[in-house]
Structure 1
Amino acid sequence: MAPLQALSGLPETLNLTLQEALDILIFSVRDGFVQVSAFVAITVLVFSYIQYRTGGRIVTYLENNEQMQPLAGALLGLTPGCGGAIIAMPLYIRGTVSFGTVVAALAATAGDSAFVILALAPEAALYAYSMAFISAILFGYAIDMWGLGVGRVDKAVNKLSRPMTDGGFTTTNVADGGPSIPDYQHDAHDHTRGNDNTDGRFDALTPVMSRFSHLVHVLWWAVAILGLVAGVMYLARGAPEVPLEFRPTFFGLFTVTGLVGTTASFYLHFVGRRFIGEGEAGRIRDDFASAYETFQHAAMETSMVTVWVIGAYLIYEYGIVILNVEIAAVAAAAGVFAPVGGALLGLIPGCAPQIVFAGIYAEGGIPFSALTANAISQDGDALFPLMAIDMKAAIVATIYTTIPALIVGVLLFYLWPYASFGFGVL
């Protein structure tokens, strides 16, 4: 979970050779699954399985206890990785939780960079994520109670461009915390919609494709478990460089699970969901009919996140090489601009730049105030489900997680003597 190693040794030029571009693609596809998706899969599965065992009572409880929602959102976001916060996004889309809950979940999220800091600087992680958690709760409740101008920001974003969603739905006003999809309450209980194979041209192939898709789903979980093992080993080894290798070694396990896992994820997201009854990715389920359906739902959710993560990795890595810009180096500017840079870096969705930032902190390259500001501001991969369904709400949410990040980061820089370089690093 460090910078993609494919970039090491690339020439500092605006021109990319075909081989260099291919290297970035392969390493991004591989690393995205092992470094992100395998961890997301487990956290999403845990919550889904709890839903299955409790018959959906957790969602019902949140729905009936609005005063607990921002706290619950912050607790979900505090989970290392992005899986917990990812769960909160579809809850907002269906109108179960408030917009303050979304902001609380995103503000508390440290993303997959949390694994880097927990492994290399556990004391720094304890302080930074505690501050992020407290800030998330306070800011989430403040938004729900007083609005804090969310409605105005919502209208300003709406004027810039039309809201973009995958289903043509828009947020009428994110400050209301209401459902973006008026008829979603009905849709949420329709478990058959994912079997729609468009216009019926593939009816003859449906039984075959259904069986094949279920096989891919089972394979996906086998690879996800192996990918999780590879990811944990990767962190335990101190996030080393991982070359492409196809032998029975750690490097081989990392490479094979990454490439196969991403390939299976793309198939499930773009093809498989039409044939195995889970086409509504990014939307929470009240309950599940069986344990298998629980696993299936978690796989579909994670596959959707994988697609977005790989896209973010590619944009980030190609952008750095083509534009010759080191985002983390800019964020580490001297003085008070360090926490400001860390907070602004958090505006970039996904975990790739945040993982780079965390790695630089572990090497003593940036101060603790910048790390904390980034921990509060970053949304990790949790923003992707919201972006996929309601882009406008996602933009407003990420703007609002940056505000407490700037406040806390600057205060730490000026007031806390320990907010310096190397604090808590092993």
Structure 2
Amino acid sequence: MNEFVDVTLASLRDGYVQVSAFVAITVVLFGLVQYRTGGALLTKIEENERLQPLFGALMGLTPGCGGAIVMMPLYVRGTVSFGTVVATLIATAGDAAFVILVLAPEAALWAYGIAFAVAVIFGYLVDMVGFGVGRVDAAVARLQPATTDGGTAVLGRRSTVTPNPAHDYGCDCPTHAHELGPDRHSPVLTPLSHAAHVVWWVAALAAVVLGVTYLVRGAPDVAMTLGLGFDGLFTVVGLLGTTLSFYLYFVGRHYIGEGHVGRVRESFDSVYETLQHAAMETSFVTVWVIGAYLLYEYFLLVTGADIAAAAQAAGVVAPIAGAAVGLIPGCGPQIVLAGVYANGGIPFSALTANAISQDGDALFPLIAIDKKAAIVASIYTTVPAIVVGVALHLVWGPVLGLPEFGFGVL
């Protein structure tokens, strides 16, 4: 029982200081750019058709799913190509990127750098030569009627997908399913939730300082103790931040707004609104990160399993499995996989295959508006993931002599 308590408290503490605080800074910076520019970045993307797959890959490469989610409504509007959608989803780093960037930064640079290169190449191929989109689209059409035409004109030519005459690019298509305001009001919980949001940011800023200090010191073991020393503050801030994150995600968002997490807004009306959005998005990530940490640690504690040995025995199946996990929408399974990699449980080839295949939360708005396009896009992110993952398995260790397990882990 003591071991379970220790694992639980350590996961609650470490997840916030080592991951969530850095998520908060990244998300709020992206939000402030949106606030200051009033959505000008999206306008530039729409106006430069030839650079759209490159822009899409860059947006997808943004840690978290923010940049990728922004691109999906543009496709539905008919202002970016299907190749841009594919490039965006291939490059999508998702919330798992925060885990890898913090725990294995060198591996993150390699994995997401490879994913970005594959995204740009494959995105342009889809737009220029079709790359079989027409056949895949036709096959999927038997399963799901289209609501979009599967792509727009780019590079001076039309995607090979047969246009849907029922689709009207001039329609007032929905761009977001985003809940802006609170859906509940309470004389107690409404002001309490706003106060929790403010204290959450205090904890987040303190956690950033502690997290950077932790990394500079070489990621040492931190004692589970209370006090004003580094270990004590690390514990207090971590547990406080996690507690507030859980409150904001499960309760607070209903009383102060931003209740529909996992979505990105084009602009904000104030800095406070920007901070509030970032806090809610980060709280959502925190819940997933803590869940992933606990799931993995409890599994090891109960079974005593040697994950690394099992992955080593899997051989070439490991990157294929990594790509298959990437087919699951959302960031939860990908965060679990990132945590397993940081603990030496899967090879680098599997991590990279998952980075290419995963679509994160960006697939949800596309599924909601056009299931057919979402299915086709998922197919077109999984194929290169398997090819690249297997290729890395064959050359990463045997040819390049680089460690397959634990590469780049701090």
TM-score scaled by structure 2? 0.72
CA distance in 2, matches of 1:229, 1:73: 32
Q: Deviations over 1:285-314 (max 9, x none)?
A: 222222222111111222222223333333
Aligned runs of 1:259-274 on 2, under 5 Å? Answer: 259-274=239-254
Within the candidate set 378, 402, 406, 1:421 is matched to 402
| Amino acid in structure 2 at the alignment position of 1:194 | G
Contact 1:150 1:174 in 2 (8 A): no
Shift of the 132–389 alpha-carbon distance from structure 1 to 2, 3 Å rule, reads closer
Q: Are the equivalent residues in 1 in contact too, given 2:13–2:242 (CA < 8 A)?
A: yes
Asked if 1:195 is matched to 2:176, the reply is no
- Write out aligned runs for 1:160-171 (5 A): none
Aligned position for 2:102: 115
CA displacement, residues 93-144 of structure 1 (integer Å, 9 cap, x when unaligned): 67466665555445332712133333xxx4x665444322101222344456
Q: Does 1:349 align with 2:333?
A: yes
1:290 aligns with 2:270: yes
What pairs up with 1:11-410 in 2 under 5 angstroms?
Answer: 17=1, 19-65=2-48, 67-79=50-62, 82-83=63-64, 85-89=65-69, 91-92=71-72, 95=76, 101=84, 103-108=86-91, 109=93, 111=97, 112-118=99-105, 122=106, 126-142=109-125, 145-146=130-131, 147=133, 151=137, 184-185=174-175, 193-197=180-184, 202=185, 205-206=186-187, 208-322=188-302, 324-333=304-313, 335-337=315-317, 339-340=319-320, 343=323, 349-360=333-344, 366=347, 369-370=349-350, 372-377=352-357, 383-384=360-361, 400-410=380-390
- Unmatched runs of 5 consecutive residues or more in structure 2: 153-166
- Structure 1 distance, partners of 2:207, 2:377, is 31
Alpha-carbon offset, residue 50 of structure 1: 0.7
Maintained 8 Å contact 2:56/2:71? no
How many correspondences in the alignment? 372
Identity of aligned residues (%): 50
Deviation at 1:54, TM superposition (A): 0.8
Superposition CA RMSD, Å = 4.1
* TM-superposition CA deviations, 1:225-280 (whole Å, max 9, x none): 12222322333333333342222233323322222112212222232223323233
Distance in 1 (alpha carbons) for counterparts of 2:290 and 2:385: 26
Q: Residues of 1 paired with 2:6 and 2:82: CA distance?
A: 40
8 A contact 1:343–1:402 mirrored in 2: yes
Taking the aligned partners of 2:376 and 2:11, their CA distance within structure 1 comes to 28
- Alignment partners' CA distance in 2, 1:275 and 1:352: 30
The answer (yes or no) to whether the contact 2:137–2:376 under 8 Å persists in 1 is no
Superposed displacement of residue 371, structure 1: 5.2
1:327-348 residue CA offsets vs partner (Å, 9 max, x unmatched):
4433333754454455456567
- Tell me how far 1:39 sits from its aligned partner: 1.6
Aligned-partner SS, 1:287: coil
On the 8 A contact 1:90/1:282 being kept in 2, the answer is: no
CA distance in 2, matches of 1:422, 1:217: 43
- 1:331/1:338 contact within 8 Å kept: yes
For the 8 Å contact 1:344–1:402, the answer to whether it is kept is yes
Unaligned runs of 5+ in 1: 1-16, 159-169
More moved, 249-258 vs 346-355: 346-355
Query: What amino acid is aligned across from residue 388 of structure 2 in structure 1?
Result: V
Distance 1:390 1:23 in 2: 40
* Structure 2 residue aligned with 1:14: none
| Gap change, CA 1:47 and 1:35, over 3 Å in 2 | same
Alignment CA distance shift 1:92-1:215 (3 Å)? same
- Return the offset for 1:52: 0.9
For residues 307 and 148 of structure 2, the distance between their equivalents in structure 1, rounded to whole angstroms, comes to 33
